[in-house]
Structure 1
Amino acid sequence: MNVTLKQIRAFVAIVDTGSFTAAATAVNSTQSSLSVLMRELETAVGVRLLERTTRTVQLTEAGEEFMAHARRILIEVENALTSADELVARKRGRVTVAAPPVVAALMLPSVIARFRATYPNIVVMVEDITPQEIVARVASGQADCGLGTFAGELKDVHSRRLIDEELVLICPSTHPLAQRREIRSQDLRDVSIVGLAGSPDVRRSLDVRLRLAGVHVPPAIEVRQMFTSLGMVGAGLGVAIWPSWATRILPAFNVVARPLVDPPARFTISVITPARRTLSPATQSFVEMLSETGRDFTLA
């Protein structure tokens, strides 16, 4: 059976108007075209749907039953088209964003607030996970986009630079380094360091800086989440690396930030999206807003 929407629309128009002539006018067609469509429809379903005389058109018993289904089909198609139009217009949808906890807590809220004000009916889901998980989630389609610092060759994702972040050294406000205006690698001799085992790029950068300065200080403590390192530093257990755009939270932990120099330590925060999947209108809007809002972050 090969029934088309054009045939169903013709059938419903004929029944609603009571004649082929009136139906042709209603659907902007010709009477002969509607006759052809009805013959094709009745051939496809295998039964006569209409009884035609020179003046009237009436439903057969099979036509009565088919009519109920035909109306439902047209309603469902109309609803589907309306939903698609709304989605394209970015009125509805869903976006799943993967990001490290520190980015999810300190960078995303302002972006999401701005996004929700513009698109109130789009649901935003945040997956606050480790950096190592983000690329896999986005590449597999489990997340629509991801934020973070990504090093090396990325497979199955596209990457777009958002901001160049400057890393700073954080230490307790009572620490001797807190008295300095800036921190050099040599200043880290004999200093306890809280290492980031879960952030290999940051860890590698710090290790290289220390080796070049002739400083060989293994981390006194290793953690996987940056928020954990903040707690450790606040407790006086050492110093750590922290993104400059996220320094506003430091006073709550009695921790201060000092710029790293010779040379400054910088990383790029990017947004990644699946390479093998077309972005939904909602995701496109969110990524665009991420790019716009990224310029608003003041880097120390």
Structure 2
Amino acid sequence: MDFRQLESLVEILEKGSISGAAASLGISQPAVSKHIARLEKEMGIKIFVRGQKCSKLTVEGEILYNFAKKVVSSLNDIKREVSNASAEVAGTVTISASSIPGDFVLPSMLVEFRKEYPSIDVEVYISDSREAIEKLVTKEVDLAVTGFSRNTSGLESYPLCEDELVLIVPPNHPLALRKSITMKDIEALDIVGRVPGSATRRLWQDAFKEYYGEEKELGLSFGHVSAVVNAVESGAEAGIVSKLAVEKNPRLAKIPFSPALKRSFYITYGTVSTRAMELLIEFLSERIKKTQEV
């Protein structure tokens, strides 16, 4: 049994197929199949249930897979630490982010990243999702983190985390004690929202349009979520914002939608041009994997 065999097993399960594992590892499909066959022979077990196309593990295969994940993860950690010790990487990585991930998701992650790589500086520029992607396309920044997924024109995206929208109202509002609300409930409300170009606005307006056949008119819109929150605290009837933006706010009632208005935030990038940029992408990817495993 060797590391490449275990790595092939882990990649098959993570990518969902032998072809996906081969592409990820940069080897041929027959090579991946040979790794699995050798593992089965050495261990004296069948790893996958027959006829399931590598999608379902046997009991023994499940045990082996769980150990393989730990081995692969540990060796990758060793490689990273040795690499960092032998040659300290320096440089600057620039990120354009929409307001929610820029204000509430990235700060804690980037603090941890800087502890691990103190010689790499990170600059975050906050705008709406559309502008953030435009800055990436025009190569003003290295990465974008937004509510939009873009896998075209030489760009690659993958999910960073999930988010949910809520209606915010003053605590004395008639809807404040509701456990959930629908599009019908907000039809008559004077809602404060984000400006066009915001992924937040697009998500709930799409749901409203699906219900009523047209978008809801807004008399007051802001480019930043904090302004929407401040407007409702200052007397506006209601607003629609990310749950992340108000979950620690005790002054407003937060009501989820039914069905839930959920979306993902995505990391998007083009050419990985520097080692510093590569390390940041790897770091964020590892954080995502650890979050999913919890």
Bucket of the pairwise TM-score, normalised by the shorter protein: 0.5 to 0.7
Q: 1:177 to 1:204 in 2, by over 3 A?
A: same
Q: CA RMSD in A?
A: 2.9
Question: CA shift at 1:237, angstroms?
Answer: 0.8
Q: How many residues align?
A: 209
Structure 1 segment 21-60 matched on structure 2, within 5 A = none
Q: Which residue of 2 aligns with 1:141?
A: 139
Distance, in Å, in 2 between the alignment partners of 1:229 and 1:135 is: 23
Contact 1:185/1:215 (<8 A) preserved: no
Question: CA shift at 1:264, angstroms?
Answer: 1.3
Distance, in Å, in 2 between the alignment partners of 1:178 and 1:113 is: 36
Contact 1:96/1:145 (<8 A) preserved: yes
> Gapped runs of 5+ residues in structure 2?
1-82
Q: Secondary structure at the match of 1:205?
A: helix
Amino acid at match of 1:266: K
Distance, in Å, in 2 between the alignment partners of 1:271 and 1:181 is: 32
Question: CA shift at 1:287, angstroms?
Answer: 1.8
TM-score between both structures, scaled by the size of structure 1: 0.61
Q: 1:93 to 1:151 in 2, by over 3 A?
A: closer
Structure 1 segment 207-246 matched on structure 2, within 5 A = 207-214=205-212, 217-246=216-245
String of CA shifts for 1:116-150, please: whole Å, max 9, x gaps: 11011111111122322212222232211110011
Structure 1 stretches of 4+ with a deviation exceeding 6 A read: 85-88, 295-298
Q: Which residue of 1 aligns with 2:186?
A: 188
String of CA shifts for 1:47-76, please: whole Å, max 9, x gaps: xxxxxxxxxxxxxxxxxxxxxxxxxxxxxx
Q: 1:174 to 1:248 in 2, by over 3 A?
A: same
Amino acid at match of 2:168: I
Q: Which residue of 1 aligns with 2:96?
A: 98
Larger Rg: 1
Contact 2:98/2:147 (<8 A) preserved: no
TM-score between both structures, scaled by the size of structure 2: 0.62
Contact 1:139/1:156 (<8 A) preserved: no
Amino acid at match of 1:231: N
Contact 2:129/2:198 (<8 A) preserved: no
Q: Which residue of 2 aligns with 1:284?
A: 278
Distance, in Å, in 1 between the alignment partners of 2:291 and 2:169 is: 23
Question: CA shift at 1:87, angstroms?
Answer: 11
Q: Secondary structure at the match of 2:255?
A: strand
1:259 aligns with 2:256: yes
Amino acid at match of 2:242: P
Q: 1:188 to 1:157 in 2, by over 3 A?
A: same
Q: 1:233 to 1:223 in 2, by over 3 A?
A: same
Distance, in Å, in 1 between the alignment partners of 2:283 and 2:137 is: 21
Q: Which residue of 2 aligns with 1:167?
A: 165
Question: CA shift at 1:163, angstroms?
Answer: 1.9
> Gapped runs of 5+ residues in structure 1?
1-84
String of CA shifts for 1:205-261, please: whole Å, max 9, x gaps: 32343344449752231222222211112212132222223333433xx22311111
Structure 1 segment 148-159 matched on structure 2, within 5 A = 148-150=146-148, 154-159=152-157
Distance, in Å, in 1 between the alignment partners of 2:175 and 2:213 is: 16
Q: Secondary structure at the match of 2:176?
A: helix
Contact 1:138/1:273 (<8 A) preserved: yes
Q: 1:152 to 1:94 in 2, by over 3 A?
A: closer
Amino acid at match of 2:227: T
Amino acid at match of 2:285: S
Q: Which residue of 2 aligns with 1:202?
A: 200
Distance, in Å, in 2 between the alignment partners of 1:272 and 1:187 is: 35
Percent identity over the alignment is 24
Structure 1 segment 39-118 matched on structure 2, within 5 A = 89-118=87-116
Amino acid at match of 2:236: L
Distance, in Å, in 1 between the alignment partners of 2:230 and 2:240 is: 13
Question: CA shift at 1:101, angstroms?
Answer: 3.1
Q: Which residue of 2 aligns with 1:81?
A: none
